[in-house]
Structure 1
Amino acid sequence: MRAVVIESPKQLHVTTLPDPTPGPGDVVVRVAGVGLCGTDVHMLAGEFGPTVYPVVPGHEFSGEIVAVGSEVQGYAEGDRVAADPAVYCGSCHFCAIGRGNLCEKWGTIGITMDGACAEYVKVPAANLYRLPQGVDLGHAPLIEPLSTIVHGLDVVAPSVGDHFLIYGAGTMGLLYLQTARRNGAASVSVVDLNADRLAVAEQLGADHVATSADELDRVTTGWEVVVDCTGAVPAIEDAFTRVRRGGTFQQFGCAPDQEQARFSPFRIYNDEIRIVGSMAILHSYGRALDLLAKGWIDSDTMITHRFGLDEYQKALDTFSQGTGRKIQIVPSLAPGA
């Protein structure tokens, strides 16, 4: 099969690999589409510590089953599926307390084991979700990033009527916007330096948009929930200053693992600011599938570019330039199609 391989930091090529074969508890999926993510950029740059090289990237994907392991029940060839890419050990301290996303042997398809930027991908059957008839295979790769938003909101545990401020109108910021609006937010404001992205945020229901929080109407009071979806340290440092007393700051965006940000410890103490992270997926993939099927997300607006496998570097460049929104790799797509 044709596949993208990140051999090591800054070493990427498209090559031919043996087709995967399923173990007893696995299936093999013919990949219909796979979404690019900021994590993929960090992996290639050598900025995401958990990465195991060499690896076929791609952790947001959907497709059709073409082979089924001998012990798999409930799935058959031809089934349309997506998959939670997280693979946990099930026996460490964090798995035992129900926090598998912090697993001491944390694994993810497309990061620590070969993923879906290939014609075929091997998947544990336990990770599969059958797609309802109303869910398009081309839209289904959005389930994975949406599931991280669902977990992010679980962690924040906002009150109905909270005002949200989101930094970043890329894919994750726009998904967060759409989900927070339907989760009882009184308002959702979005900050981004890219005016084109802000226009899309308005289209998707943002109450206020600006290139700086100083331009927004709650700048003097602050926001109950401020979320960074950029992973950029200057944005993170600014976002923290916008939290209302007693509010919550969430670091949602993935920053390079070597970066550090500065903040005021006194303000955390004096204003009782709660700071929370949000790591990947936790008991949220199935709920995200249900929300996508219910139409919570404008999938057609979110997906703007599709590239073939041989155009993976071009797709990464497009992502890094901030052009478009969700970018997908479609293995069956010929270059330039």
Structure 2
Amino acid sequence: MEAVVFDGNKLKLSYEKNYPKPEILDDDDVIVEVHYAGICGTDLHIIHGEFPAIKTKPIALGHESSGVIHAVGKNSVYKVGQKVAIDPNKACNLCDFCHKGNYQYCLTAGINSTIGIWKDGGWAQYVRVPQQQIFALPDEITTEQAGLCEPYSCVSHGFNRASPLKVGERILVLGAGIIGNLWITTLHHHGHREVTVSEMNLTRLDIVKRLETGYRLVTPDVLAKENTTYDVIIDCTGVGKVMEISFNYLREGGKYVLFGCCPPAHTTSLNPFQIYNKELTIIGVKINPFSFPSAISWLKAMGSRYVDYHKLGVKTYALSEYADAMEDLKKGSVAKAVFKVVKD
């Protein structure tokens, strides 16, 4: 089968036409024919050696994927032909963290066993998944829209962590890549209107205009010149220096949501007195524990008003066009690249 394969030792991507097709190994396995598989910012960090991933063997990356069930193990509750989204993360169900429902902290599972990071993922025509990590899609959601289910599930977890987010609060979204855009759609859908979006790439700011939210769109230099403070800052950049600068834009009692995934080597300098004096809250957000059901409900409720590839700045590519996808992401000409794997 076709696949885009990552060699963790060489930090190299390659397109392979004859990558081994997965087979049912366990009775609760499901084989999914992949329709859509996203390229995440974490994937880019992995490719550059900035984020932990498997090095013992090459694998197909891709932890954001949707498709149709191709084959099932004998214990599966699912049926061939069902539309599904894949949750790449799971609990070990043994440790204290998992027993308390916090598998994002698990030292063996969670992000430490993610499909598409530690085992073959969705950048391929087929992927093997335990049925516990499959979510059937309602008729109202297409597999194209469900290609964004995993990142929306992460936003859902972040939204819950940051709550309450009161309508009328002044909110600043840093970064208008796809994660910034998903936060923008989420905030607008939930009634928030006092929102400013900061992004240095003017092409990406133009993409945000397609969402027709009426939000104020600025570049970082404008923020630096203003004396405006915000109740909530949602950092989607994944850049440590951005936090160091923008943390000063919080007003008293403010919340800083550190959502973008920074490489482990990034550092930042904050003033503890400022945190004390303003009673500021820093909120980290890690993966998507038990938030897939919420994401699916959001996709259904939002519909094409928000979950539209063109409006969000998403461009699709064949697996064989992976180099073009990476280049477009590097240039910032798209908010997100998604592999359209299924053949029309």
Q: What is the TM-score with the length of structure 2 in the denominator?
A: 0.91
- Alpha carbons 1:158, 1:225 under 8 Å: kept: no
Q: Which residue of 1 aligns with 2:199?
A: 192
2:271 corresponds to 1:275: no
Q: Are the aligned partners of 1:52 and 1:111 in contact in 2 as well (CA < 8 Å)?
A: no
Letter aligned with residue 72 of structure 1? S
* Aligned residue number for residue 299 of structure 1: 308
Residue 156 of structure 1 and its aligned partner are, at CA, apart by 0.8
Task: Find 2:83's aligned residue among 63, 74, 80.
Answer: 80
Q: 1:63 touches 1:137 (CA, 8 Å); kept in 2? A: yes
- The farther-off stretch of 299-308 and 112-121 is 299-308
Q: Which moved more, 1:276-285 or 1:290-299?
A: 290-299
Q: Per-residue CA shift, 1:66-102, capped at 9, x if unaligned? A: 11001112x1111111111112211112111111111
SS at match of 2:20: coil
Measured against aligned partners, the alpha-carbon deviations of 1:95-133 in whole angstroms (never above 9, x if no partner) come to: 111111111113211011110101100011111111111
Cα separation, 2, equivalents of 1:214 and 1:286: 38
Cα deviation code 1:262-292 (max 9, x no counterpart): 1212211111111111011022111111111
* 1:182–1:213 Cα change, 3 Å: farther
- CA deviation map 1:29-48 (0-9, x unaligned): 11111011101101111111
1:243 aligned to 2:250? Answer: yes
SS at match of 1:138: helix
1:172-230 per-residue CA deviation (whole Å, 9 max, x = no partner) reads 0010011122334351110001122223323321521100264599x535111101101
Residue 210 (str. 1) matches residue 218 (str. 2):
yes
In structure 2, the partner of 1:68 is: 72
Q: Name the Cα RMSD after superposition.
A: 2.0
How far 1:144 moved relative to its partner?
Answer: 0.8
Question: Is 1:328 aligned with 2:338?
Answer: yes
**Paired residue secondary structure (1:151):** helix
**d(CA) in 1 for partners of 2:96 and 2:331?**
40
Moved more, 220-229 or 115-124: 220-229
The code of the aligned residue for 1:94 comes to F
Instruction: State the match for 1:141 in structure 2.
Output: 147
Shift in CA distance, 52/227, structure 1 to aligned 2, threshold 3 Å = farther
Q: Which runs of 5+ in 1 are unaligned?
A: none
- In the other structure, the counterpart of 2:106 is 103
Query: 2: CA distance between counterparts of 1:237 and 1:333?
Result: 45
Match of 2:121 in 1: 115
Q: 5 Å matches for 1:146-185?
A: 146-160=152-166, 161-185=168-192
Residue pairs, 1:303-322, within 5 angstroms: 304-322=314-332
Q: Check conservation: 1:308, 1:333, Cα contact below 8 A.
A: no
TM-fit CA distance, 1:134? 1.8
TM alignment of 1:11-22, pairs within 5 A:
11-15=12-16, 16-22=18-24
- Give the residue type in structure 2 aligned to 1:68: V
Report which stretch shifted further, 138-147 or 3-12: 3-12
Kept in 1, the 8 Å contact 2:7–2:55? The answer is no
The equivalent residue for 1:3 is 3
**The residue matched to 2:65 in structure 1 has which SS?**
strand
- Which stretch of the first structure deviates more once superposed, 205-214 or 284-293? 205-214
SS in 2 for 1:133: coil
Letter in 1 for 2:282: I
Native 8 Å contact 2:210 2:312 kept in 1: no
| Gapped regions of structure 2 (runs ≥ 5) | none
Of 87, 92, 96, 2:95 maps to 92
Kept in 2: contact 1:65–1:77 (CA 8 A): yes
Aligned to 1:36: 39
Q: CA shift at 1:10, angstroms?
A: 2.1
Aligned residues: 332
For residue 139 of structure 1, report the CA deviation from its aligned partner. 1.7
The one-letter amino acid paired with 2:3 is: A
Does the CA contact (< 8 Å) of 1:3 and 1:118 recur in 2?
Answer: yes
Determine helix, strand or coil for the equivalent of 2:4: strand
Are the counterparts in 2 of residues 11 and 44 from structure 1 also a CA contact under 8 Å?
yes
